[in-house]
Amino acid sequence: MRDWLVAQAKKHTDSVRTQELSHVWSTTGKTVKMFNVVADMEFGAKKTVLLLAHWDTRPTADEDTDPAKRKKPILGANDGASGVAVLLELMRAFKEKPPPVNVTFLFTDGEDLGPDLDEMFLGAEHFAKSAPPGRYAYGILLDMIGDKNLVIEKEQYSIYYARNLVDRFWLNARRIGLSRHFPDRSGTWIADDHLALNARGIPTIDLIDFDYPYWHTTADTDDKCSAESLEVVGRAVESFLRNEKGR
Ligand SMILES: [Zn+2]
């Protein structure tokens, strides 16, 4: 998957690199090697925006209704793949017609290792620690955005750390007719990759639809997702960046 992702990203930019990190996993006591994939798209702008999604998937289906399946890995069509799919399409669209900002695409590993929060978001934390201060104006995280019934509320940590960005993003979504999917109301607090970036001073919002019954189960498969939902999020992010004053 890592090599496939690198190959996909290389179709759109020459600047693709992997970032290796390792972690001693409490579940096995063994060292797990992980890799972020980072792709820079420089368009000669002053401002650089970070777009991110996790490409790893939960190694254990802890929430499965069937106890026999709880030690199996999940496929993660929504929890993982949906965000990656939209980012790859945005890379294609931005290569075809550059936005007024530079964009770094970050595909994080180790978001969903677990079982607990202290062994999650590992790739994002690694990236955030090594990011040059002041490099990124802000970040937008895409996670679980493929649900057929897509409703993305304003996630609470995003409001806490980056209220202005949340407001601007939702306003733009409304302007382009997507308020059905981006209602003007706040949701819950969700720990996710954006916390690591916010902690390092990069204001980052989380676009996430956490109302998904198949979360961390073996039933998180592509029949629960829809191409239309991916398009909605892709258009919302694309339009937002194209309307930025970056130069
Ligand atoms: Zn997850």
pLDDT digits (tens, 9 = 90+) for 113-147: 999 999 999 999 999 999 999 999 999 999 999 99
How many Cβ atoms are within 10 Å of 144's Cβ, its own excluded?
27
Q: For residue 67, how far is its CA from the centre of ligand 1 (angstroms)?
A: 18
Q: For residue 245, how far is its CA from the centre of ligand 1 (angstroms)?
A: 34
pLDDT tens for each residue of 159-182: 999 999 999 999 999 999 999 999
Q: For residue 216, how far is its CA from the centre of ligand 1 (angstroms)?
A: 6
Q: What is the DSSP letter of 131?
A: S
pLDDT tens for each residue of 201-242: 999 999 999 999 999 999 999 999 999 999 999 999 999 999
Q: For residue 143, how far is its CA from the centre of ligand 1 (angstroms)?
A: 8
Q: For residue 59, how far is its CA from the centre of ligand 1 (angstroms)?
A: 10
Q: Which pLDDT does position 245 carry in this prediction?
A: 85
Taking alpha carbons only, the member of 120, 136, 104 closest to residue 34 is 120
Q: For residue 171, how far is its CA from the centre of ligand 1 (angstroms)?
A: 28
Which residue intervals of 180-226 are DSSP H helices? 194-199
Q: For residue 41, how far is its CA from the centre of ligand 1 (angstroms)?
A: 27
Give CA 244 to chain center in angstroms.
20
Q: For residue 141, how far is its CA from the centre of ligand 1 (angstroms)?
A: 13
Q: For residue 210, how far is its CA from the centre of ligand 1 (angstroms)?
A: 10
CB-based contact 15:69 (threshold 8 Å): no
For 2-240, CATH number? 3.40.630.10
